Each structure stands twice: as structure tokens, then as C-alpha cells.
Structure 1
């Protein structure tokens, strides 16, 4: 930082004083409790602030920050809305630090300045006790050695001064040569010299400028005024106003009005005034008062005039009592100007102050004006509009843009189903969209004048078929004449179209996801598949083979299968009976047989009516006579084995089994029949329904 900048921003950063706790647990710490600055310079006051639990804890934030001047009535008026500070103050604040800058300091600016904030919960916090500002001017004094000294009440480290004698800049310090006045200024602040100091033993005249600097708008008029003091009578005719701009000087006679039509000089009884009308930027410069005596000409530091375009704009300032509009311009506010306010391009009568309060600013468009100049309108955000991709495909990126018309510029917040999203910008970007991102979105736009909300935008993520599965109903063997349905299942959005194939030949295309055979035939046999497709992707199902059997083949197959199963069942039954027959013995088992299975035997062995004779054995068994006679033939005449049919009598008192020998004379040679019936045993509880006959044929 240059020395010039150091001087222009005179403020003390000696110590960092302990913080003072305000309301709601907020602490404000000032870098210094006192500050001193020169008249016409710029001062900066800085502080830090924080919450005891930390910013954003429990949702506590500093929503608005401001500075105010401590007053006896304890009113906290934002300096930006104070008429005497409008255009001269600036805030520079962030999340935990805020500074106040005041330029073109005046003696009336000496006061105590306090930092304040408005929390997100609506409470107002003041960081007492604040910073005490002192505004002073330079003074020329002499020390014991009669040397000139330039002093002020503000401490300045390593100062560098500029000296003037009789209003003219000199090199180094003034000596004891003949001159009337001496003044000094800090380097970098030459426009703000000390008042002229008369040299001892000399009579002198001085000029006190009413204003050290003036800022005026192009096209307007301005009066530059001063007061002339003298300790004895001077012949002041003629008087001169000296204008200096870009190293050029020209004189304006104080009592002549024809020099330039726009310049009018006036000097009477020590009152000095120069009026300039229809100001132009080229009129900027320093205007000084001068006079001539018989011997020389004198001039004094004057008033610096700056001419600018108004560059009007309305600043919206939020206070604890609501919004306030301030008409800012390129020049600090001055009572010489009157402003006008407009709502929706219509004048608001009786409003000439640069500050406008007490209106529903969210319902209109406001602007301010001065003469032919007019500011831009300020207004709350209009209903935002949301633009997005025409289609949102799974895995792609999506941009949602919230736009509105607002002045000041709006800040944006994105919401999904009433939940705020972390994206405080007009653009909301999703890099890789998933199905879970589908939902309702909207944005809000907010500035100091109001808050509005957009319409809801529904986002539906589209995707191609994730799979294709072909199923057959009914499952199992298919027969001619039955109803068969093929179903193609998938998951896709938007809904896909379906293409059906048989042996790679297209059967049908459309939106129907099933293919039905009301009466299927053998000609429908083949390999089937389906394809699901939308504009994003497509999927082909697995192959399904259909084999259609004819109806008579199915019946024949059923009959054959039934016969085969019956045959197997009969074999099983015979095998079980044989096993049990070989295991059982005794009268008890035979009794069990007669009780349970003699009816079955009666049915399976009906009596012969015509062919052959039947004999009854001594135990009650009927014997087929033809079989008996055949068996009595010599064994050598029998070419094959003959069996005997034996049925038991229903008389339960008769013998259970019988040994039958057909040829008594040859009993030692042939055993024709041995019959044994097993009853139930502990290990075999199944029903016994078979009767076995054992015939042994012996050959001599």
C-alpha cells in the first residue's frame, strides 16, 4: 500500500479488543474502539462477528448486516438510509466480517458507530459499545525555535507534508522571508490543506470555504461560496475567481457578468459566490478566490468541483422494519437536489426525499428521477420459469434452469417435493440421472423486495427395456385344439412395442404383449421369440419351442400308459403275495386267509359248468377232473407241464391247506401240488390277495 493510500484510509489497527456479546448469543469484535481521521479523507471501521454455537448451528444465520450511528434516542438507523451519509458510505461484508467505509469525511461525522445484524429468525442484534470516530483538521503552529509545524490530533506515522505560502505551493518548509500566510497539507490530500496561518508581525487576509469539495450533475447549476476575512481594510476592486484545470488557469472577474454567460461572480461585504449554470464535465476543477493589491496578487485554496452524470439507481436496503428504497447517484446526496419517485411509471406525489419507505414494494415497479434523468426500475421477482431437457433418459445428464425478471438480481433455491436442494444457483445440474430422480421439482426466486415460486415441473426418467421374457400358458404338453397364450414380459418407459417371431419370421407387430392361439394345431409347432423395443433400446427374449401333439396320439398314449401301469401293478401285487406266501405257516395264518380272501378266490375261480368234471378233495377243495385225469397219465407221456386249479371251500372249519397226489401208486415219484397260504405277520401288514400253486414234476 502506498503512503497515499495509507493516509486516505486513516484508521487504527492497534489492538483487537475483546468481543462484546449481543443478543441471542452473538459476539461482535472490533479491531479498535477509537479511530481518528482527517477532514476530507476516508475512514474504514472493521469488525468480526460470530455465534457462540457457530454460524448455521440450529439454523441461526446473519441474514442482514448494517451499521448505525449511536444516538441518544437509541434509534438504529442504517447509515445507507441516513440523508447525510447517502452516497458516502459503503459496506463490505461476508459471512463473519464486515467493514464500514466513509469517504469525504466532515467534522459532523464525528460520532460512535455500531455494527448491527438481523438474524434469520428476525431478531436484531447490536454490537455495543461500537467505535468512536474523531474527525480533525491540520493546523500550522510554531515551535520554540520559531519553526513551522504541521499538526493534527490524529496520529500519523512517518507523515510527508506539502507547504503553501500565500496559497502557492513551495518546496520544503517556509522560511522567514516576506509572505503573509502559511498552510500545509498531507501528501495525497493536497485538496484538504490546513487553514492559512498569518505570519507574526504581518497583517493578512484569509478565505474560509463553505465547502471543500462539491459534486454536481451535468446540466445542473452550482454555487461555490466562501467568506473573506481581513484584519484591515483592503481595496478589493477588482476581485478574481481563479479556475485551475489540467495545469491551465483563467480568471473570472468577480464583478463582471459578461465574461462567460454560464459563470456569474459575486463579492460583497466579504461574501463570495460563484454560480455556474448548465454544468458540463469539462467544468470540473478547483475554484479559488484571489485579490490584488498595489504590489501583488493573492489566492487561497478553494473548492474542488466535480461534474458527473447522475447515474441514478435505486438501492434496496432491508431493515428490521421492512424494505427501504434509496435513490443513489454518482454524487453524495446534497440538499441542493430534489428527487422524484415513480411507481409503475407514475409519480408518487409528495415524495422528494432520496429515501422511500412504507410501500408494498413487492407489488409494483419503483424508480427515482432527477430533472431529466431517470433510474432503472426495481421490482420483486416475477414468477420464475423452468426450462429443462425435452427428455430425461436414465444415465444421461439433466439441466434445470430457473429464470425470472427481477431487479435487484434474484437468488435461486431449488426444491424437490418441498425439500430444499443444495444448489443456490439458477442452474441445477444432475450428471447421471437415475430412476430415483423422478419427481416434482420447482424453484424459488428471491430478492430484497419479495419472493416468488415457479410452477412444478415433473421429471419422469425414461429407459429402454431392461429384459424380455417369453412364457407359455398353460405349461406342459400341448395338444391340438387347446387354447395357448404366449406372454412377453418386460420393464420399460415409455411403453415398448412388441414384435412376435416364429422360426425367425415376423408374425405380428404392435403394442399387444401377448400372442393367443384359441385352438392350436400341429401346424403351429415351431420356435418362438418376442422383441420389445422403444426409441431408447430393444431386447429380444429367449427362444421357446412349441411341439403340438395330435389328439388320437394323445389318447393312444394314455391307453398304453394305463395298460403298462396296470401290468406293473399286477406284477407288484403278485410279487408281494408270493413273498408272503413263502413266509407264512400254521393254522392261524390260513384262518386269516379264509376270513379275508376267500370271497376273492370265489370270484377268481368260478365253477365249471360244461367242460370237465369237478372233484372235491377230502378237505373241501374243488379239483378240476380234467386236470386230475391228465395229471394221472404217465409222466413220460406228458410233453409239457400242467397246472392244477384249486379253490378253497367257504367252510372255515375245514382244513386250511392240502397235499394232493394224483397217482397214489406212484407217490414216491411225482408231487403234483403243494398249497400254502400265509396270513398276516408282524412284519408284513399288507393285504394278501393272491393264491399260489406249486407243482413239482419229477422225472424218473
Structure 2
């Protein structure tokens, strides 16, 4: 027999007091629904497991403060509410809901009632699923002090013996079990009984096409989640990021273009929108292996596109009506020359479609493929070399022009003084020699430089003017000094 949730939610503990021993009682786990034959049960006392895989009845001694609960084996998350075995005042916690489902961004109230035969000194909510973050894993920690819930948790005591944990701006990471515990001077409720299980889900937009046209479509959209929110909920719809004011229900009907993005959110929680639904973007297509394909080999054509809902893919060959394949990857085995041509992939979902094309070339000779690849490689290398030479020559020309501009003023400065300088040769006559002697005559290199510059150079003749000096040959012979200058100049 298949069990339904209502069957296990309907479990109850029936207490049958003993007529012989006032502290003894027989407990029976039962349901208004028919339970499977030979079912196994689990029994709890004061929230702690006391017996596993036993029958639907349990007999024992209980104090006035004791409470008891039971659960069907395999459905421990749905135990029966705890009951006081003797009287109405005992240590117990009863959760209002065993499971709650809520949408991301919304708020939720998790409640319980509790009692004790002693004065309660402290109480708080905790989550065993977060025990790995407790300083002491065996000691529950107050959820209101957890940094993950900071600013999002409120503790409400609307009446004595009732506690409510309110969590706002729900996140999917908040999905967990939540327990309540309290302490007295001599007792601590540390339940091994399941608490309330919270499931947080994100909203989703469901697309129901009505009429599809070539350029647009008419469709009905539904904002939903795996949870069914309690009460009347208002929704907000967004089209291309802009809020649409006219709709506040979970349904939206209208005309949509392939480029439209549509999302929804709970009113008051617009920051927690559902993922947008939109037509496929331009598909990306590729071929593997990528080398310009050898006859007889195998090739894979791959297509992918961003879309929500997820796109379906269909492959076509140009000038052929029927599709070649469906799915993201189209594999062609034993490739033949006739497989060459244009292939296009169409990505399609309920919102629209988009396609992309690739060109496939099949060669019969492996050498042809190598030659083509080598030719392309050589062309690329040649282009790189030409570009490099052009850039080098351009840089060289710019460098030469810069050097000439820098050297031109220096050349003028060096040349001008050389042209303006007059070079002289000094000739001295000594009284100790019978013939005129020449001295301080510049080198042949200097004379050649002088000739190149076409500069007239003069020879200087020095005469001893001392009165006691002997007379020179010129004086003795009465020769004119100007004649000597002429002679020296001619000699030079």
C-alpha cells in the first residue's frame, strides 16, 4: 500500500492508563487512515527516542512531567504530536506545521506551543542543520544570534506558551529544519523529534504558447514555484526590465517578440525575481576536428545557445528540406565529398528561435589538406614579415631624419670657424747661419687642408732688431726686405 502524507500527518498517540499501577500506561500509535500491515514504529519520550522498530503499542512507567510521541518507520519527519501521559501539564513541544514551503524573498512564520510543569528559565529556536557551525556541536545555539540570519529573524510571543520564529527575505539556503527548545531548573527539552521543515524555492515563469506568428507570438505566462503560497498573493511582472503595472495575478497574457525578457516576483519582494524567460540568443556553432576535413574520417558539429526555457536544437543542410539531425551535437561518420557545404543549426524554445551557419569542406587527399594548411601558414608568416620590415624602415627613416636635424647646426658651427681662421707660417733668420732658415712650418696635412678650403695663407718673417746683432746677408747686400717676403711666399 502506498502511503500518502495525509496518512502519516494524521498519526495520534492514544493513552490507556493502567488500572493496577497509577504510574504505568499503555500507549498506542494510530491513524484514522488504514496503515500498512506489519508497519514498524518509533517511540519518543520527552522528545528523545526510546525505542526503534517496534509495534504500534508501547507500555511503560511515566512520571507526571513525561510526554510521549510516535512515528511510522520511514516517515520520521511526520511524527504524532506529543501528549502528556498523566494529566494536562507536562514537558512538551508541539509544532504547528511539520513542513512549510515558501518562495525566495518572501517571509514565513514557524510556530509551536510549549509547556512545562516547572517555571521556564530560557527558550530559543535553533537549526540542527547548522550544527557544524556551533562552537559545541552537542549544544544548540540560538538562531537569532546566527550571522546568516542577522536582521532577518524576529521572535514573537503573541500568547503564553506560544513562540513564533519569523524569517524574512527568505533565501534558498534557509531551507532546513527548525527546532524549539526550553530550559527549567531541572529539565532541558532537546528534541530528537523532528521540528518544522522549511523549503525555500525560487519563482519560475511557465510559458504556454497560444498563437505563433513569423515575427512574434501570443502566449500565456504563469508565475509559479514548487510551493503553494498561503493566502492571496500579489505578483509583479517585468518585461525587458520594466515593471508592468496592469497585472497583479500569477497569470499574464500578451504579445511577445523574440528579443523580449519576461520575469515575475512577489509584490513587495521585487528584488527576488524569477529567472527571465527569453528566446534563444544567436547560436554558437563549431566543428571538431577544426582542420579546413579528410574523406573517410568522422566529424562533430556542435551548437549551443543561451535560452530560457532551454533550447531544442535541429541541424539542417542548405538546399535540403528535411532536418539532418536533432540535438546539440551532429556527428557525421565516414565523411564523403558530398558532405561538403553549408550547415545551419536552429535553436528553438517556446519563446522563439535563432540559427547560425557553418561551412564544411571535405578533401579527398590528405596531402591537399596539409598543403592548404601550409599555404595559409606561409601567407600569415609572409604578412607578418612584410609588416615587420615596413615598421622597421619607417622607424629607421624617422631616426635618420632626427639625427640629421640634430647634426646640421653642429656642422655649421664647426665649419664656419675653420673657414674664418688664417694660418700663418713663421720664418726666423739666425745670425749663426749663412742662409735663411725656416721654422714652425705646418705639416703637409695642414697644407692640404688649406688648399681644400682655398684660404690664402701668409708666411711671417721675423727679423732680429737688436743693435748689437751682426748684419744679415740682406743688409750686407742692400736687398729690399719686401723682396725677401716675396721670395719666402713664393717658396711656400
TM-score by length of 1: 0.37
Alignment partner for residue 14 of structure 2, among 131, 138, 141? 141
Match for residue 96 of structure 2?
210
Q: How does 1:251-262 map to 2 (within 5 A)?
A: 262=153
Confirm or deny: 8 A CA contact 1:185 1:193 kept in the other structure: yes
Does residue 164 of structure 1 match 2:55? no
Match for residue 409 of structure 1?
310
Query: Equivalents in 1 of 2:278, 2:352: separation in Å?
Result: 8
Alignment partner for residue 180 of structure 2, among 270, 282, 288? 288
Does residue 334 of structure 1 match 2:229? yes
Does residue 268 of structure 1 match 2:163? no
Query: Equivalents in 1 of 2:158, 2:41: separation in Å?
Result: 32
Q: Compared with structure 1, are the counterparts of its residues 347 and 424 closer, same or farther at alpha carbon in structure 2 (3 Å cutoff)?
A: same
Q: CA deviation at 1:237?
A: 7.5
Match for residue 241 of structure 2?
345
Q: CA deviation at 1:364?
A: 1.0
Q: CA deviation at 1:194?
A: 0.5
Query: Equivalents in 2 of 1:236, 1:399: separation in Å?
Result: 75
Alignment partner for residue 181 of structure 1, among 67, 73, 79? 67
SS, match of residue 148 in structure 1? strand
Deviations 1:55-99 (Å, cap 9, x if unpaired)?
xxxxxxxxxxxxxxxxxxxxxxxxxxxxxxxxxxxxxxxxxxxxx
Q: CA deviation at 1:313?
A: 6.2
CA RMSD in angstroms comes to 5.0
SS, match of residue 419 in structure 1? coil
Deviations 1:405-434 (Å, cap 9, x if unpaired)?
323332211223343345223333333443
Q: CA deviation at 1:446?
A: 1.7
* Residues matched between the structures, number: 325
Query: Equivalents in 2 of 1:283, 1:313: separation in Å?
Result: 15
Any unmatched runs of 5+ in structure 2?
Answer: 19-24, 53-57, 132-137, 145-150, 212-218, 374-492
Deviations 1:184-229 (Å, cap 9, x if unpaired)?
1134543321023443x62347765332234668987543224579
Query: Equivalents in 2 of 1:278, 1:403: separation in Å?
Result: 35
Q: Compared with structure 1, are the counterparts of its residues 142 and 425 closer, same or farther at alpha carbon in structure 2 (3 Å cutoff)?
A: same
Deviations 1:231-260 (Å, cap 9, x if unpaired)?
xxx99777844546344246899xxxxxx9
Query: Equivalents in 2 of 1:164, 1:451: separation in Å?
Result: 59
Q: How does 1:87-486 map to 2 (within 5 A)?
A: 136-141=9-14, 147-152=26-31, 153-156=33-36, 158-171=38-51, 173-179=58-64, 180-199=66-85, 202-204=87-89, 209-214=95-100, 222-226=108-112, 240-241=123-124, 243=126, 245=128, 246=131, 247-249=138-140, 262-268=153-159, 272-275=163-166, 285-288=177-180, 303-304=195-196, 306=198, 312=202, 314=204, 316=206, 318=208, 324-326=221-223, 328=225, 332-335=227-230, 340-349=236-245, 351=247, 358=254, 360=256, 362-369=258-265, 370=269, 372-384=271-283, 386-387=285-286, 391=292, 395=296, 397-416=298-317, 417-438=319-340, 441-454=343-356
Deviates more, 1:443-452 or 1:240-249: 240-249
Query: Equivalents in 2 of 1:382, 1:412: separation in Å?
Result: 12
SS, match of residue 193 in structure 1? coil
Any unmatched runs of 5+ in structure 1?
Answer: 1-11, 13-34, 40-133, 254-259, 465-492, 494-533, 537-700
Confirm or deny: 8 A CA contact 2:293 2:299 kept in the other structure: yes
Confirm or deny: 8 A CA contact 2:205 2:264 kept in the other structure: no
Confirm or deny: 8 A CA contact 1:287 1:305 kept in the other structure: no
Query: Equivalents in 1 of 2:236, 2:307: separation in Å?
Result: 22
Q: Compared with structure 1, are the counterparts of its residues 249 and 38 closer, same or farther at alpha carbon in structure 2 (3 Å cutoff)?
A: same
Q: Compared with structure 1, are the counterparts of its residues 198 and 383 closer, same or farther at alpha carbon in structure 2 (3 Å cutoff)?
A: same
Confirm or deny: 8 A CA contact 1:386 1:454 kept in the other structure: yes
Question: Which structure's relative contact order is higher, taking Cα pairs within 8 Å and 6+ residues apart?
Answer: 2
Q: Compared with structure 1, are the counterparts of its residues 351 and 188 closer, same or farther at alpha carbon in structure 2 (3 Å cutoff)?
A: farther
Confirm or deny: 8 A CA contact 1:38 1:138 kept in the other structure: no
Query: Equivalents in 2 of 1:335, 1:391: separation in Å?
Result: 61
Query: Equivalents in 2 of 1:355, 1:408: separation in Å?
Result: 17
TM-score by length of 2: 0.50
Query: Equivalents in 2 of 1:242, 1:430: separation in Å?
Result: 61
Q: CA deviation at 1:37?
A: 1.8
